[in-house]
């Protein structure tokens, strides 16, 4: 298993970079004037591309296989869950076939360009032989592509069928995911948990008994969104007035990054999603924590915030279990502080970002549907203090 890029690897990358730069120094001068400038600029571009390619190769496996927590490289060529693996293997076959076609076509093209190039002025005086059509060739380049396309259709439909027809076992986790502009509403109907933007699921083991996939029912409250966590599953749209279905079955723990993959308005790019895959025991602990009631705050500032929260219009859009806050337009805040981020991944969730959000959400996420509530400074402080107790 490749580890993180080591010192030797980094030195090698640096040497490659220096090699590409060297001939542009005055002492290594090979050209002069404009030629030299063109030569140096193209070498620099080539050097930068080489460096980026080396860096990408050195870094991506290190991120993806660290066995630990964050998996920020959402690399679909490193699948870590069953449907993503199935898509990966059929895409490798498709890539191999298309690479074969590319090689054959390019070779023929280069051969023809070379063979029939202009060889001298005498070529300008004659015409190539004028032939019309050839049944054999016409048949070959019609039938062969049809056969190839047919193979590709069969391969991909088999994978699609296998993914769509998977029967979920009894113990499967079920999640209802509702897309909103620009955040994700997350329901666990069996457990009665509601949260937002972060999905916790248990690790599934390949040994049959430990298998535990997660079924996702996808809906939308407004426009079309699309669920995509590249290392876990392919894309599936969330469409208004329709229930779509997909599933994931992760074989590695960690936090997987995903995002909305269908343009849905101003903050589409900040409609981020995290899937936190945990060992089964840790997942059960999370479930219990989410089901535990939230105590009424005792500290003075938080208690004031509690009052201010219910006196303002916060409750029209947000819900806090066991209280009069029953709004459903915005994210459920019952266990707000168990989440890693605020504003569907726009910033890490800290007391500072939360304070900034309560002050004016538009500074962190311009265009989001929560307006600047024009709260007094004292209200911003106390409401933030109250929200910090929701865990
Ligand atoms: Cu939701 Cu793009």
Give every strand in the sheet of 214-220, ordered side by side. 193-196, 183-188, 173-180, 214-220, 244-248
Domain that holds residue 378: 300-387
Q: Whose CA is nearest to atom 1 of ligand 1?
A: 225
Sign of the alpha-carbon torsion through 74, 78, 80, 85: positive
Burial group, residue 12, by CB count within 10 angstroms (0-12, 13-18, 19+):
middle
Tell me the whole-structure pTM to 2 decimals.
Answer: 0.76
272 and 249, same structural domain? yes
What CATH number does residue 234 fall under?
2.60.40.420
Q: Would you state the pLDDT for residue 35? A: 54
CA–centroid distance for 40 within its chain: 37
Q: 249 CA distance to ligand 1 centroid (A)?
A: 23
270 and 355, same structural domain? no
Q: 264 CA distance to ligand 1 centroid (A)?
A: 4
Q: How confident is the prediction for the chain on average, in pLDDT?
A: 84
227 and 83, same structural domain? yes
Is residue 295 in a domain?
no
Is residue 184 in a domain?
yes
315 and 264, same structural domain? no
Is residue 209 in a domain?
yes
Bigger pLDDT: 73 vs 29? 73
For the Cβ of 225 lying below 6 angstroms from any atom of ligand 1, the answer is yes
352 and 267, same structural domain? no
312 and 178, same structural domain? no
210 and 265, same structural domain? yes
- Taking the CA of residue 262 as reference, the ligand 1 atom at the shortest distance is 2
Is residue 292 in a domain?
no
- 225, 250, 279 - which closes a domain: 279
The DSSP output letter for 269 is: G
Question: Domain total for the chain?
Answer: 3
346 and 272, same structural domain? no
For the Cβ of 271 lying below 6 angstroms from any atom of ligand 1, the answer is yes
Q: 257 CA distance to ligand 1 centroid (A)?
A: 15
- 40, 66, 92 - which closes a domain: 66
Burial group, residue 218, by CB count within 10 angstroms (0-12, 13-18, 19+):
buried
Q: What number is the average pLDDT over the span 344-365? A: 93
Q: Would you state the pLDDT for residue 60? A: 41
Is residue 348 in a domain?
yes
For the Cβ of 262 lying below 6 angstroms from any atom of ligand 1, the answer is yes
Is residue 195 in a domain?
yes
- Taking the CA of residue 263 as reference, the ligand 1 atom at the shortest distance is 2
139 and 82, same structural domain? yes
Q: What number is the average pLDDT over the span 305-323? A: 89
Confidence at 57, pLDDT banded by 50, 70, 90: very low
350 and 238, same structural domain? no
For the Cβ of 235 lying below 6 angstroms from any atom of ligand 1, the answer is no
Which two three-digit tokens encode residue 235? 């894309």
Q: 225 CA distance to ligand 1 centroid (A)?
A: 4
Is residue 128 in a domain?
no
Is residue 245 in a domain?
yes
151 and 107, same structural domain? yes
The percent of residues in the chain predicted with pLDDT above 90, rounded, is: 64
What is the rounded CA–CA span in Å between residue 350 and residue 140? 65
What are the beta bridge partners of residue 273? 258
φ/ψ of 348, rounded to 5, equals -65, 145
48 and 21, same structural domain? yes
Give residue-wise pLDDT tens across range 65-105. 333 456 666 788 889 999 999 999 999 999 999 999 999 99
């Amino acid at each position: 298993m490749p580890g993180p890029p080591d010192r030797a690897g980094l030195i090698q990358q640096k040497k490659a970079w220096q090699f590409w730069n060297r001939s542009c120094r005055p002492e290594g001068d090979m050209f002069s004037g404009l030629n030299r400038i063109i030569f140096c600029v193209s070498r620099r571009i080539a050097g930068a591309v080489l460096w980026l390619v080396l860096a990408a190769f050195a870094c991506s496996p290190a991120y993806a296989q660290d066995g630990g927590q964050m998996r920020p490289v959402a690399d679909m060529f490193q699948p870590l869950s069953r449907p993503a693996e199935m898509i990966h293997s059929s895409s490798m076959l498709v890539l191999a076939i298309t690479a074969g076609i590319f090689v054959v076509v390019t070779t023929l093209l280069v051969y023809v360009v070379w063979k029939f190039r202009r060889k001298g002025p005498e070529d300008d005086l004659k015409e190539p032989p004028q032939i019309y059509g050839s049944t054999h060739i016409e048949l070959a380049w019609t039938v062969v592509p049809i056969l190839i396309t047919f193979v590709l259709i069969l391969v991909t439909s088999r994978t699609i069928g296998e993914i769509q027809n998977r029967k979920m076992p009894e113990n499967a986790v079920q999640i209802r995911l509702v897309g909103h502009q620009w955040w994700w509403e997350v329901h666990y109907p069996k457990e009665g948990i509601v949260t937002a933007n972060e999905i916790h699921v248990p690790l599934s083991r390949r040994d049959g008994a430990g298998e535990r996939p997660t079924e996702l029912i996808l809906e939308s409250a407004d426009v079309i969104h699309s669920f995509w966590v590249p290392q876990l599953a392919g894309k599936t749209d969330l469409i208004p007035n329709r229930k779509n279905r997909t599933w994931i079955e992760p074989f590695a723990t960690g936090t997987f990054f995903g995002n909305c993959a269908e343009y849905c308005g101003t903050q589409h790019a900040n409609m981020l999603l995290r899937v936190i895959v945990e060992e089964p025991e840790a997942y059960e602990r999370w479930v219990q924590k989410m089901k535990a009631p939230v105590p009424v705050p005792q500290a003075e500032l938080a208690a004031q915030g509690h009052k201010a929260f219910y006196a303002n219009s916060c409750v029209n859009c947000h819900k806090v279990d066991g209280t009069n806050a029953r709004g459903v337009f915005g994210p459920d805040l019952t266990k707000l502080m168990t989440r890693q981020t605020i504003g569907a991944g726009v910033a890490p969730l800290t007391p500072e970002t939360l304070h900034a959000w309560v002050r004016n959400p538009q500074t962190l996420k311009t265009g989001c549907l929560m307006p600047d509530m024009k709260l007094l400074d004292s209200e911003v402080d106390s409401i933030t203090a109250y929200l910090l107790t929701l865990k």
